Chains A and B, each alone.
Chain A
Amino acid sequence: KQEVTQIPAALSVPEGENLVLNCSFTDSAIYNLQWFRQDPGKGLTSLLLIQSSQREQTSGRLNASLDKSSGRSTLYIAASQPGDSATYLCAVVHTGGFKTIFGAGTRLFVKA
């Protein structure tokens, strides 16, 4: 059974700091991994999608990497800003049934 874990559960950093969020999954049989952000009480916003054949994706200050063999992904946020404060979720699409399985998220707070 695929399980997705995100560490840390919460993180507080000063503005301008570079940071890394971690996501691990137990079964490497995935089609892709996607990172989302969720603002309080809102829906999810897609940040980056990495296909299983890819190693990383970049968008602006965000860089996501994928190591399928070790079951890990990291989301790197450069020069963090207060507007980055949100919950970050990773989700994997497992090849067994194409179901999307989410981690519990990392709650990020960037202090001005």
Chain B
Amino acid sequence: KAGVTQTPRYLIKTRGQQVTLSCSPISGHRSVSWYQQTPGQGLQFLFEYFSETQRNKGNFPGRFSGRQFSNSRSEMNVSTLELGDSALYLCASSLVGGNQETQYFGPGTRLLVL
């Protein structure tokens, strides 16, 4: 089975712009979670989607949003980018989620905001 894929792998944006990141889960997995990783804050949970519904949400501002499609692929959007949004964004998939089972991570999208 193919693993979790994320596109693009690298991205450079300027402050005020918006960005959309994509995540394709392992075939058959219905849950997708998103995380932000920075040197200062470490890995922080953004949100989880299951069956096209957001099931769980971390403590991030409303500029961070996401959605999931019927094929379980997920996108994450960040509007009005700030310098502090520079980070590695990771997505993880699991069969049914709820964070009760092994999560499989993608390679991440590295976002640099200038």
Q: Among A36, A49, A89, which residue has its beta carbon within 8 angstroms of that of B101?
A: A49
Task: Specify which chain A residues have a CB less than 8 angstroms from the CB of B92 in the assembled complex.
Answer: 44
Q: A43-B90, A93-B100 are in contact. Are A101 and B45 (CB under 8 A)?
A: yes
User: How many chain-B residues does the 8 Å CB contact rule pick out?
Assistant: 26
Q: Among B56, B101, B108, B110, which residue has its beta carbon within 8 angstroms of that of A99?
A: B56
Q: Among B33, B58, B105, which residue has its beta carbon within 8 angstroms of that of A43?
A: B105
15 new A-B contacts, CB < 8 A, other than A32-B99, A45-B105, A46-B104, are A31-B99, A31-B100, A34-B103, A41-B110, A43-B105, A43-B108, A46-B105, A93-B100, A98-B48, A98-B56, A99-B56, A100-B33, A102-B43, A103-B42, A105-B42
Does A11 make an interface contact (CB < 8 A)?
A: no
The distance in angstroms between the C-alpha atoms of A98 and B105, with both chains bound, is 18
Does A86 make an interface contact (CB < 8 A)?
A: no
B102-113 near A? 1/0 per residue, CB < 8 Å? 111111101000
Residue of B nearest to A44 (CB): B105
Task: Specify which chain B residues have a CB less than 8 angstroms from the CB of A91 in the assembled complex.
Answer: 43
Q: Among B4, B88, B99, B104, which residue has its beta carbon within 8 angstroms of that of A100?
A: B99
The interface of chain B, by Cβ under 8 A from chain A, is 4, 33, 35, 42-45, 48, 55-56, 58, 88, 90, 92, 98-108, 110
User: Does B45 lie within 8 Å of A89, measured CB to CB?
Assistant: no
User: Does A46 lie within 8 Å of B110, measured CB to CB?
Assistant: no
| A contacts with B: majority SS | strand
Residue of A nearest to B39 (CB): A104
Does A97 make an interface contact (CB < 8 A)?
A: yes
Task: Specify which chain A residues have a CB less than 8 angstroms from the CB of B104 in the assembled complex.
Answer: 46
Q: Sort A-B residue pairs by CB-CB distance and give the 5 closest, nearest first.
A: A102-B43, A43-B105, A44-B105, A93-B99, A43-B107
Does A42 make an interface contact (CB < 8 A)?
A: yes
